[in-house]
Amino acid sequence: MKTSVERGAVVVGLDATPSARLALAWAADEAARRRLPLHLVIAVDAPDLANGSAQLASLWTTWGPAIRAVYAPVLQEARDFAVHRHPELTVVAELADGSPADVLRARSSGSSMVVIGSRHHGVARDLFSRESVGLPLVAHAPCPVVVVREPEHVTHEPPHLVVGVDGSAVSTEAVRFAFEEAAFRGARLIAVSAWQPPFPSSVPMDVMEQEVRRPLAESTAGWTDKYPQVELRREIIRGHPVKVLTDAAKNALGLVVGSRGLGGFPGLLLGSVSQGALHHARCPLIIVPHRAG
């Protein structure tokens, strides 16, 4: 079941864990909303046979087919689930060789987005476990990466998405995607800027707040003309950006944030907003890369 990714497809990385089903359902719904193909991928993390021992190569000739035999029905079940959920979808399935991060990064080129689940390992294990694909994928994928750790809050009224805004080019891409996503969903959009006033400071608090409010207004200006069906609300909230955004999105359909993207090590800096949200968001997290130039 090996195939190339159709251009513009929604790609979802799967395994045999319950979190993968949550990601699969989200990805299938998104592909149906956007009328895009859905591409399912399970990565078989084969050892490096070229640099391994002859004994390892011999063992893998037995293990490899056995592992594929285990994953094949999982992949078929996932395909059946997606087709049953949205019969009109074009769904393709792939059993690929390689680490999950490498396989999904390769398939992100030309895709609309890549969707993954997230197991609740805790921050330390998430950062350093080889099971984690979120960090390397977010750092290098040229398309949005969606991490579905929690279900979207579809029962909250009115339905809304939250987007983080700081006036940078990075958040501008996030705003664009957030308006588009809200339009597809018929949802309200809440644009949030977090600020932490310096202490001590001789500048009046209201003056500092205005300095934060200006880039928020500028970053969201003009988008309501393009998406008049999207109701926009702007909020300025004091506090650390990660806590402010994750708290604001606790009842949201999703949280949209920007990423430096394609930046190598800078995209992996601990303490960044996108990485902090990756561990603390209580709804699906959509990380949108900034495309230099």
pLDDT for residue 226: 95
Q: Are 10 and 38 in contact (CB under 8 A)?
A: yes
Q: End of a domain among 99, 128, 148?
A: 148
Span 209-266, pLDDT tens digits: 777 788 899 999 999 999 999 999 999 998 888 999 999 999 999 999 988 643 333 3
Q: What's the token pair of residue 168?
A: 């940078």
Span 100-147, pLDDT tens digits: 888 999 999 999 999 998 754 444 344 334 346 777 788 788 999 999
Answer yes or no: do 226 and 132 share one domain: no
Place of tokens 């430096």: 260
| Within a domain: 237 | yes
Place of tokens 């993968």: 20
The Cα–Cα gap between 93 and 5 comes to 10
What lies within 8 Å, CB to CB, of 6 at 6+ separation is 37, 39, 90, 92
Of the candidates 71, 103, 77, which has an alpha carbon nearest to the alpha carbon of residue 91? 77
Q: Is the pLDDT of residue 29 over 70?
A: yes
| Within a domain: 155 | no
Span 220-231, pLDDT tens digits: 999 999 999 999
Residue 234 belongs to domain spanning: 160-289
For residue 174, CA distances in Å to 96, 177, 219, 225 come to 30, 5, 10, 17
| Within a domain: 30 | yes
| Within a domain: 118 | yes
The DSSP code for 264 is S
Answer yes or no: do 103 and 211 share one domain: no
Answer yes or no: do 114 and 16 share one domain: yes
| Within a domain: 14 | yes
Q: Are 123 and 248 in contact (CB under 8 A)?
A: no
Rg (CA), the chain: 20
Q: What is the CATH number of the domain that holds 229?
A: 3.40.50.12370
Answer yes or no: do 220 and 142 share one domain: no
**Which of the four pLDDT bands, split at 50, 70 and 90, describes residue 34?**
very high
Answer yes or no: do 127 and 183 share one domain: no
Q: Are 209 and 222 in contact (CB under 8 A)?
A: no
Q: Is the pLDDT of residue 4 over 70?
A: no
The Cα–Cα gap between 265 and 136 comes to 10
For the sheet with 254-259, list strands across it: 91-97, 38-44, 10-14, 113-117, 145-148, 285-289, 254-259, 160-164, 188-195, 232-238
Please indicate whether residue 30 or residue 102 has the higher confidence score (pLDDT). Answer: 30
